[in-house]
Structure 1
Amino acid sequence: MLKIPSLTSAFIFFAFIWAPFVHTEAQSLDSRLDSVIRTEFNDPNGPGGAFMVARKGQIIYSKAFGKANIELDSDMRTDNVFELGSMTKQFTAVAVLMLEEQGKLNVMDPVAKYVPDYPGGSHILIHHLLTHTSGIKDFTKMSTLSTISQKEMSPKMMVDFFKNEPVDFAPGDKFDYNNSGYVLLGYLIELVSGQTYEQFIEQNIFKKIGMEHSCYASDRKVIYKRAYGYHKKSNGYVNKTQISFSVPFASGSLMSTLGDMLKWQNALEHHLLINPVETQKAFSTYSLNNGQKISYGYGWHIKEINGIPTREHGGSIFGFKSMGVYIPKEEIYVIGLSNCDCHSPTQVTRVIAEMMLQTKQHGD
């Protein structure tokens, strides 16, 4: 999902964007951050993005770049609504942990407990789905995906689409990022809660913490302040490819804003949705069957910047890319949302996070 640049290109990228930071200490933090973002988001008349930096739960930088709608010549705003792509997985994982806290499931339960006819389901644990270690076939890698991409699929239809495919490895043997696992988790949430995934997320997360501008994605319903998605072709920008959001489902079909995502981060930090025990499960790292550690918890990559632990996740779906980085030690949250899959906020967001660490260390 996330492309890692070569060491050489990464070095050039970092050297270029850090040069103004090193040599212009008199610049304001805002202008330094603007310079970093404009290395990638530099077309004022094309699709752009929105970025936010928060410290200790409070916004210290929030700015938009480019256009939210090229055809209407509408400038991007910091309160535009974006498709999140795989950042949806955070919400799915927390929903599972909420149900565990309520005693309705256990992450060590086998899938077969809830879907008795799932092939090999007695050996695949909910834990394996959460950590991308299940070995089931990722539906995004199936050649037949185009046959359903614009169809309205029920969660059961989606699970049936991939469940009989040969597995890639035995559960727990390997980490391999997997969208099917999170689709199956969404189906389990529905079976256990008695609500649709959309209803569960809306009632138990969005409404509970005031995420008023977040929703399950739709291309048909009117979504106030929607940012429109684009691709870039050789002859210019085009509107994004249409898909049925019932296909990515619980692996990538939520929409949100910068402000709502800060509410989400603050709710997690203050245990407003899940207790400290369940929270620790989300942000722990786990081991494969051979004892090898993986850098993924439940719905988050567990990484570091300059030796300081971070919680990160990005997303990519037709016309949109997203990236969020949280540094628990300093309570720094950086998020970038883009309305063109030609612009990735991943490196920009991580560099900003590193800048904020440097700023903190220098007492700025």
Structure 2
Amino acid sequence: MDEIDRIFERFLQRKFFSGGVCSISIDGQIVFLKAYGKADLVKNSDTEPNTLFDLASITKIFTTTIILQLITRKKISLSTPLKNCLPITSRNTTLANITISQLLTHTSGLKAWHPFYTNLPNDNFFEVLEEIDLIEKNSEEVIYSDLNFMLLGEVIKEQLHEDLETIISQHIGKPLELSSLTYQPSNRFTIAVTEFGNRTEMKMCEERNLRFEGWRSLHYPISGEVNDGNAYYFFSGKSGHAGLFSNIEDLMKLGDLYVKGGAYKGKQLISKELIDQSLNQQVPNRGLGWEVNGIFPEGAGHTGFTGTSIWVVPEKKLTVGILTNRLHVEKPKNINPFRKDIVETVLSNYEKLKGDL
């Protein structure tokens, strides 16, 4: 589609990112797939359709998927408080009564972000949670917080008695036949690099007067390691809020699972009712795990800090994946104008795309 080519070229020239991949499917059939620009400017390597990207916060949708599977299997429910599904939290009065639903919808009241690595050498997540001020403000508000999904990652480990890598592989990778999804990618894949060191988080820590001495070098782009500081320095690359890598094909399969009401190849992995709840507004602008409204005028979506996004519109059987390396530029910018242009172009050309099937 020429319009998408033009949008990518325009934003590449303006250095919103150095490379990207876009894929569109209708009813599980790919109607558009194309790669643009460079995966790595230092090595001058091209972005390819199967290039792996650091998904950043799209990891949260994979975490959501496991949680919805647990609810489908009646191991937990949306109203289950943390003290009942993650017993270690029962001693923390702030956390004990927070429900699964509140974590998924970002209505727990927990603060938006804390650099847990600044508490090292204490690497015990629950001990650090005891040490820090957890509440941001009025808990009736939606506060998009990584802490919510760090906790959901811990719930998953507690309930399934495995580490996150094994759980993701067994409960999403195998059932959906995903070949690239992983927490720690091997170099047999082409991987899109990200930031030159954790410049953004260094600044965020400075603003909060928090010290950390273990930063990665600012001279090289981060490659094959998760960009997110908490995931990398504190959680050894694996967390419920960030850490997963994937190519566009595997990301599209996850989107299709939601478009098709929680079923894959005739097998119901998540109840249709839960899928519907997850993609529809439960609180302002949020479904269960997913974002509604904002840059997604229909359906639901999620973005990632590294420049990634997934968008699904079940009524149209539409899935759109956009992976970019927006941090691999001299000065990172907000790429929502780019995402919005793609979304609007896909909607206005939907009938034409459908006709291509």
Length, aligned pairs only: 312
In the aligned structure 2, how far is the partner of 1:304 from the partner of 1:121? 29
**Which residues of structure 1 form unaligned runs of 5+?**
1-29, 288-293
1:228 aligns with 2:193: yes
Q: Give the alignment partner of residue 261 of structure 1, picking from 251, 256, 274.
A: 251
Q: Give the alignment partner of residue 90 of structure 1, picking from 61, 71, 88.
A: 61
1:209 aligns with 2:198: no
Q: Give the alignment partner of residue 106 of structure 1, picking from 74, 77, 89.
A: 77
Q: Residues 361 and 69 from structure 1, CA distance in 2 versus in 1: closer, same or farther, beyond 3 angstroms?
A: closer
- Which one scores higher on RCO, CA 8 angstroms, separation ≥ 6? 2
Q: Residues 263 and 309 from structure 1, CA distance in 2 versus in 1: closer, same or farther, beyond 3 angstroms?
A: same
Shift of 1:43: 7.5
1:125 aligns with 2:99: yes
In the aligned structure 1, how far is the partner of 2:25 from the partner of 2:76? 34
Q: Give the alignment partner of residue 345 of structure 2, picking from 333, 349, 355.
A: 355
In the aligned structure 2, how far is the partner of 1:263 from the partner of 1:257? 10
Shift of 1:36: 1.0
In the aligned structure 1, how far is the partner of 2:105 from the partner of 2:246? 24
Identify the residue that residue 332 of structure 1 maps to in structure 2: 318
Q: Give the alignment partner of residue 168 of structure 1, picking from 125, 130, 136.
A: 136
Q: Give the alignment partner of residue 270 of structure 2, picking from 251, 256, 274.
A: 274
Tell me which amino acid in the other structure corresponds to 1:280.
Answer: D
Instruction: Tell me whether 209-218 or 240-249 shows the greater mean CA deviation.
Output: 240-249
Taking structure 1 as the reference length, the TM-score comes to 0.77
Shift of 1:300: 0.7
Shift of 1:195: 1.2
Identify the residue that residue 314 of structure 1 maps to in structure 2: 303
Identify the residue that residue 3 of structure 1 maps to in structure 2: none
Tell me which amino acid in the other structure corresponds to 1:302.
Answer: V
Tell me which amino acid in the other structure corresponds to 1:132.
Answer: H
In the aligned structure 1, how far is the partner of 2:308 from the partner of 2:183? 16
Identify the residue that residue 300 of structure 1 maps to in structure 2: 290
Identity %: 21
In the aligned structure 2, how far is the partner of 1:355 from the partner of 1:168? 37
**Equivalent residue of 2:23, what SS?**
strand
Q: Deviations over 1:227-268 (max 9, x none)?
A: 2223499xx995136845326711011111111111111122
In the aligned structure 2, how far is the partner of 1:42 from the partner of 1:237? 23
Shift of 1:210: 0.9
In the aligned structure 1, how far is the partner of 2:346 from the partner of 2:37? 24
Q: Deviations over 1:300-337 (max 9, x none)?
A: 1012779x522111001xxx321122222222222211
Identify the residue that residue 164 of structure 2 maps to in structure 1: 197
Identify the residue that residue 62 of structure 1 maps to in structure 2: 33
1:183 aligns with 2:157: no
In the aligned structure 1, how far is the partner of 2:63 from the partner of 2:341? 27
Q: Give the alignment partner of residue 280 of structure 2, picking from 280, 284, 301.
A: 284
Shift of 1:190: 0.6
Tell me which amino acid in the other structure corresponds to 2:55.
Answer: L
1:137 aligns with 2:105: no
Identify the residue that residue 41 of structure 1 maps to in structure 2: 12
In the aligned structure 2, how far is the partner of 1:187 from the partner of 1:256? 22
Q: Deviations over 1:194-224 (max 9, x none)?
A: 1112211111101111111110136xx4352
Shift of 1:105: 1.1
